[in-house]
Every structure is written in C-alpha cells, then in structure tokens.
Amino acid sequence: MIRFPRALAAGIATSLVLLSAPVQALELTSMSDAERAIFGAEVRAYLLQNPEVIIEAVNLLEQRQAEAESMQDEALVAANLEELQNDGYSWVGGNPDGDITLVEFMDYRCGYCRKAATEVAQLLAKDGNIKLVIKEFPILGEASVLSSRFAIATRLAAGANAYKQVHDALIEFRGEPNDVVLRRLAEGLGLDADAILALMDSPEVNQELAQNHALAQRLKISGTPTFVMEDELLRGFLPAGQMSDLVAIKRDQRG
C-alpha cells in the first residue's frame, strides 16, 4: 500500500478540486466554517472514489522535479565544462582525442567505484573513441585521502603511465594504506617510492585535491562514483551497457 503524508495528500486533493471548480468558488478564505466542512467532505469523497488520481499527481510531480534537477545539472556542467574536461592536471585515459568525454569523480575506498572501474574498462575496450578523465575525490575518510595523495604524487613523480598502474592497484587494494604498505606497492611496480612519498604532502597535491573538492561542490556532487558524460551529470554506479547506450544517444544528438 502506498501511503502519503497528510499534508501532501491534502495539497494534491485541494489542487484537483480547485482545477475543476468554477472561478467564483475559489475564494476559500471567504468560506464560512460550514462551507469549509462541506468542501473538505467533497475533497475526501472525491479522493475515496478516485484514489488513483493521487498516484498520478505524485508521479507527475516527481517527473517535473526530475526534469528541473536535470536542467539544473546541465547548467552546472556547462558552467564548469572546461575544468571538467581539460583542467591540465587530471589523468586522461582511453582515447585523449575521443569524440565523447567521460569524467569520473572517484574514491579508492568506495565499493561502487571498484565495481565501476570494471564497467568503465569494458566500455573503453568496446568503444575506442572515448576520452576518460579521472578526478581524485576522496570523501570516505583518511584512508581515502592517503590513497589519493599517493596516486597524485605518483603521477607527479613518475608520469601518467605510473599513475595508471597505481590507480588500478589501489582500486583492487582491500587493506589499510600506510607509508609501509604504499612503499611496498610502489617498489613492487618498479617505482621510486622515496620520490613518491616525498610528494604526498606537497603543495601541488594539496592544490589538486582542493580544486577537485571545490569543483564537486559547485556541481553539487556529494557521492562517488559520479560521472559527467559530455553535458550530462550521472550520479551513481552505471553498468557498461547503460553507459554505452548513453554514448550512442550523445552521438545521435550531434547528428
């Protein structure tokens, strides 16, 4: 059974009755107590006879709210598009010259980000014309921040290819990161652990994390993973097939 708050049901009911009532009957403030009681009884009787109208009205309200939120998201993306797609520091994968740009805000400690990594990899393997931009967005505690600092420091110290190796390793890592663990990870990949660890608290790393958080705040992003595909903000996990369908839609919209 679907239950609605009394205030919501009353508001919907009032709207339904007012829409069908003659103009002269709309002066509710001028009604006497007796007239209001009759009006309330009529509303109640109408809803009891036509309960499906409430569901229809609520569905329409939710649809309009979703459309309004989508338009707001599009405006936010448009206002921040250059920083999303070409900030000059985020790691870029896939096809850097691809006709579709997919931006991902991610956290290494996020279970859905781990699932999304597999789906994104499938999407890129299937479609060789997608540019992927990774935004380090650690929001799940100190372990998340430490992992992102290590990944960014790796890119600064050893370049994009090393970052990708570390990124993939951290996505799969299930333990608690610390200096000893991260040093072993770097050494296991043949990287200069001393150089990477020395950069983890550097101004460059601090600035990148601060910029990513500020961008996420402007876009009203509060969870991971969050994707931005071209002009569309996609909040939450998406399977590869659904992302592929959205890519096709974006290309069709261009004509």
Per-residue pLDDT of 135-185, as tens digits, reads: 999 999 999 999 999 999 999 999 999 999 999 999 999 999 999 999 999
Task: State pLDDT tens for residues 64-97.
Answer: 766 667 678 899 999 999 999 999 999 999 999 9
Does the structure show a pLDDT above 50 at 7? no
Side chain identity, residue 20: S
- SS3 assignment, position 161: helix
What is the DSSP track for 98-150?
-SEEEEEEE-TT-HHHHHHHHHHHHHHHH-TTEEEEEEE---S-HHHHHHHHH
Q: List the domains of the chain with CATH numbers.
A: 6-72 (no CATH), 81-254 (3.40.30.10)
Q: How confident is the model at residue 6 (pLDDT cuts 50, 70, 90)?
A: very low
Strands (E), the chain: 91-94, 100-106, 130-136, 226-229, 232-235
As a whole number of angstroms, the distance between CA 252 and CA 187 comes to 46
The 3-state DSSP class for residue 174 equals coil
pLDDT score for 19: 46
Cis, bond preceding 225 (omega within 30 deg of 0): yes
- pTM for this prediction: 0.75
What is the chain's length? Answer: 255
Q: How confident is the model at residue 15 (pLDDT cuts 50, 70, 90)?
A: low
pLDDT of 35 above 90: no
Residue 103: CA atoms inside 13 Å, Cβ hemisphere, count?
24
Confidence class of residue 3 from pLDDT cuts 50, 70 and 90?
very low
